[in-house]
Amino acid sequence: MKVNNTFRLFLGLLLVLFTIGCQQIQNQMKVEPDGTTVSVSVDDDIPDIEPSVGKVFIGNAGDRFGTDAFALNTATIDGDTLKVSLSYSGGCETHQFTLVASDSFLESFPVQLPIYIAHNANGDTCEAYPTEDYHFDLTPIKTMYQEAYRQEAGTIILRLKDAPNLELVYDFTM
C-alpha cells in the first residue's frame, strides 16, 4: 500500500512537470496567420514602452492645467517634437502634463517664445517617484510662427521654464 501511494505521488509530480514543460514550449512558439509556426524569444512578449503624448496650449492658461510639482530632467527637440523626461511624486492616479506657450514671440533674431509645462496630479497622494518620457507636438507653434511672419521656414528659441538645457532651438523647414 505504501509503495502504491509513493508511485501515485511520483506520477502526479511527473505529470505536473510535463505540463509545465509543455506550457513553456508553447510560450516559445507562435502561429502566424498563414499557419506557419515560428519560435519567439521571451523578450518578444515585452511591449515597448511608448512615451506619453502631452497636450499643447497657446495662450494665457493661468492655473487651468495644474500647478503640481515635478522635475524636468531633460528636454530636447527632434523635428516637430519636444521630448522631455519628467519625474514626479505619485503613481496611483493619471497625471496630465500640458505644454503652455505664450501667444506672442519675443522679438530677437531668432525670435524667442516663453513656454512651460503645467502638471495636474489629479490629487495623487501616493509616494512613488516615477520618471516618464513625454512628447509634445510643436506644430501649433510652427503654425503660429508661419502666420505671424508669413514665412514657411524659421527658427524659434524656446525658453522652457526650468529646462536643464541652455537653449532649445526649434528649427523647421517646409
Tens-place pLDDT, residues 46-73: 445 567 999 999 999 999 999 999 999 9
| 86 lies in the same domain as 157 | yes
Q: What are the grid coordinates assigned to 26, written together? A: 508553447
Interatomic CA distance for residues 164 and 67, integer angstroms:
19
127 — phi, psi (to 5°)? -110, 10
Interatomic CA distance for residues 69 and 2, integer angstroms:
68
- Rounded to an integer, what is the distance from CA 107 to the centroid of its chain? 33
CATH of the domain at 149: 2.60.40.3220
> How many independent structural domains does the chain possess?
2
Give the mean pLDDT of the chain: 81
Residues, the chain, total? 174
| 151 lies in the same domain as 95 | yes
| 62 lies in the same domain as 19 | no
| 33 lies in the same domain as 60 | no
| 123 lies in the same domain as 85 | yes
DSSP state, residue 47: P
Between residues 134 and 166, which one has the greater pLDDT? 134
| 85 lies in the same domain as 15 | no
Measured in Å, how far apart are the chain's first and last C-alpha atoms?
A: 86
| 66 lies in the same domain as 146 | yes
| 58 lies in the same domain as 130 | yes
106 — phi, psi (to 5°)? -85, 125
| 34 lies in the same domain as 59 | no
Q: What local confidence, expressed as pLDDT, does residue 174 receive?
A: 62
Residues of the domain holding 8: 2-45
| 164 lies in the same domain as 109 | yes
Q: Give 119's pLDDT tier (boundaries 50, 70, 90).
A: very high
